[in-house]
A and B are shown apart, each in its own frame.
Chain A
């Protein structure tokens, strides 16, 4: 069975600074997807960034980038130039490609507060 672990329950960062959220996962699969989702307070979850395991290049979306270390089973999210709107709960998620179900396995989440 796959597991996803986020070891940082809460983090804070000053506006305009950079913060890195950690995620590790456990799987015997070789072909899978990894995601970071953002859940703002009382709002719906949205996809921040996605990484396909067979791609060595780290995904980047504007101020968001990942550090994907497949051998170490690590998938961290870096947020550059943090903004107040980045305040949210962030979830790391895993999807096995082979099963074709598309179900997501989430970590416990990290609450990020961006301070002015």
Chain B
């Protein structure tokens, strides 16, 4: 099925470890973004991309890196995990066409940093 594939679904990290959350979409969408969701905080934008080779920071970018070498993939890297990064992470891809906007979400990645 077409959509956004996000992996891993669950991960436990030790403080200081690094890891990459993967996000891939097969809909040829230009726009992709990463969010974190903490209890009572809604979804906060970490980084976003308007196309291959172009990324920008969102509201809470510190501690995270992204790259967009292809249209399909938008990985999120945690450089040195901290307990404050314990959260649920969602990847989204968007098309903004003449008929309007459609947003597709991955199923989420539950990350615990101990």
Are A and B subunits of one complex? no
Give B contacts to A, CB under 8 Å. Answer: none
Give A contacts to B, CB under 8 Å. Answer: none
